[in-house]
Each structure stands twice: as structure tokens, then as C-alpha cells.
């Protein structure tokens, strides 16, 4: 899939005014500083999402329209906030978007491959399972570890922990924004999801009765 058009659409911080549209939407979520904005920039090959070395800087939901057909959404990170009020508002925004938004979305949960999966990640996965939210896992920053065995070990431990908690193990990817490893696989996966969405939409149109 070739990305030919990228447009910033809207940035939202108010939980009562979520952006409504009727296109496939792919959101990126994870702990603060896990690399969400960098990954989006790498996918579209443009610096459209703001990147910061300081965790907790993204406090809005940012929508990017791709090829005039589907959206990439950059969500605030969870797990780090310097101001309590900011934490409460941002967490409420994340919950409203993921668990109560009516638009079609698919979630990519980002996890830093250098770290053992945290309780906050497992709690989030549990909530996703309870609410039947479809998601995949993306292990980021694999270029930060030179030892490939350690990367695979950390990923295996993460998946084992997920399984031990009686969660379904989702499809997973490992990527590096720095050397572009795994980015094409992720784009092809999104293409398949887009095709599936279009086929389902066509079926729905066929069964809509005439007015």
C-alpha cells in the first residue's frame, strides 16, 4: 500500500467533542515515551506528529487523514503525568475514545521491547478484553538493544505474562523507527484491515432495505 496523501485533521482535548466520521481508524496507544508519534511519522514518511523526548507531552487526540480514506490517530500516553489535573483529564479522554467511541477503530498497543511488561499495560489489556476491543501489539525501539536474543527474550516474557493472565495473545509486530525495520509489515497489515473493513461495509450496504 502506497501512502500518497497525509493531512492533519483535528486535535481534540475535550471528551465531549470526539471527532465523528465514517472511515476506518487506527489508533496508537501505550505508555508515555514508547514511540507513538515517531512510529506514525515513520509510517507516513513525514513529520506530522510531534515528537518529544519528555514523557507525557501529548495530551490531545490527534487525527491524520491518510489517502483521503482512513485515519491514523495519535493518542496521549498513559503512565506519566507531572500534573494531577492533567492526568485526570487525559485519562478520561483516552477512556472515552477507546471504550465509548462509536466509530470503527482498531488499536495498536505499543510496548517498549527493552522493558518487561508493566502492570499498567496488563491492566489496560484486561480492560480491552473486557470491552471486546480489537488490538494488536507493536514492540518498539528494537534498535536500542543490540542483543537480538535479549529482544526475543523480552518479547517472549511479555507474551507469556499476557497468557498467564488468561488473555488472548494478539497479533504482534516488532519495529524500529530508526532503521525502518518492520514498518512495511505494519503498513501491509493496515492494508488488510482496510480491505476487510471495505468488504464488510459493502455487505452492510447490500442488506439495507430500500426506503
What sign has the CA pseudo-torsion 65, 71, 76, 79? negative
**Which helix (H) or strand (E) is 206 found in, with range?**
helix 183-207
**Is residue 204 over pLDDT 80?**
no
Average pLDDT, the chain: 82
Check residue 31 and report its DSSP letter: B
E strands along 3-59, which residues? 6-12, 25-30
**CATH, domain range 6-204:** 3.40.50.300
DSSP at 208: P
Whether residue 11 is predicted with pLDDT greater than 70 in this model: the reply is yes
First to last CA, the chain: 37
Closest CA to 93 of 108, 81, 111, 110: 81
pTM, two decimal places:
0.85
Q: Please tell me the distance from the alpha carbon of residue 155 to that of residue 178, in angstroms, as a whole number.
A: 19
Give 172's strand partners: 137
DSSP class per residue in 57-124: ---SEEEEEETTTEEEEEPPPBS--SSHHHHHHHHHHHHHHHHH--S-EEEEEEEETTSPPPHHHHHH
Instruction: Give the pLDDT of residue 15.
Output: 62
pLDDT in tens, 54-92: 444 556 889 999 999 999 999 988 764 333 445 577 777
Closest CA to 172 of 122, 107, 123: 107
11-22 mean pLDDT? 77
Mean pLDDT of 37-62: 78
Residue 157 clears pLDDT 50, i.e. is over it? yes
Distance between CA atoms of residues 69 and 5, nearest Å:
9
Kindly report, residue by residue over 179-197, the tens digit of the pLDDT: 999 999 999 999 999 988 8
pLDDT at 52 over 80: no
Distance of alpha carbon 126 from the chain centroid: 16
**What is residue 103's predicted lDDT score, i.e. its pLDDT?**
63
Residue 115: its pLDDT value, please? 86
Percent of the chain whose predicted confidence (pLDDT) is above 70: 83
pLDDT of residue 81: 37
CA 46/CA 104 separation, integer angstroms = 25
Give the residue-averaged pLDDT of 153-163.
92
Backbone angles phi, psi at 54, to 5 degrees: -100, 125
pLDDT value, residue 33: 85
Question: In the beta sheet, which residues pair with residue 184?
Answer: none
* Span 124-142, average pLDDT: 90
Question: What is the per-residue pLDDT for 18?
Answer: 74
- CA-wise closest residue to 17 among 105, 93, 88: 93
Return the pLDDT at 95: 81
Amino acid at each position: 500500500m502506497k501512502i500518497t496523501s497525509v493531512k492533519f485533521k483535528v486535535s481534540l482535548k475535550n471528551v465531549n467533542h470526539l471527532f465523528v466520521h465514517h472511515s476506518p481508524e487506527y489508533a496508537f496507544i501505550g505508555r508515555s515515551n514508547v514511540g507513538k508519534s515517531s512510529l506514525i511519522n515513520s509510517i507516513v514518511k513525514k513529520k506530522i506528529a510531534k515528537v518529544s523526548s519528555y514523557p507525557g507531552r501529548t495530551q490531545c487526540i490527534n487525527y491524520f487523514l491518510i489517502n483521503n480514506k482512513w485515519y491514523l490517530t495519535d493518542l496521549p500516553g498513559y503512565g506519566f503525568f507531572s500534573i494531577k489535573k492533567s492526568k485526570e483529564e487525559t485519562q478520561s479522554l483516552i477512556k472515552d475514545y477507546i471504550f465509548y467511541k462509536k466509530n470503527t477503530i482498531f488499536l495498536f498497543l505499543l510496548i517498549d521491547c527493552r522493558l518487561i511488561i508493566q502492570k499498567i499495560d496488563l491492566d489496560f489489556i484486561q480492560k480491552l478484553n473486557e470491552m471486546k476491543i480489537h488490538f494488536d501489539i507493536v514492540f518498539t525501539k528494537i534498535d536500542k538493544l543490540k542483543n537480538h536474543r535479549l529482544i526475543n527474550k523480552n518479547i517472549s516474557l511479555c507474551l507469556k505474562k499476557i497468557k498467564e493472565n488468561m488473555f488472548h495473545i494478539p497479533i504482534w509486530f516488532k519495529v524500529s523507527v530508526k532503521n525502518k525495520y518492520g514498518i512495511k509489515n505494519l503498513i501491509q497489515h493496515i492494508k488488510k484491515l482496510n480491505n476487510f473493513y471495505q468488504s464488510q461495509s459493502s455487505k452492510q450496504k447490500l442488506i439495507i432495505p430500500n426506503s
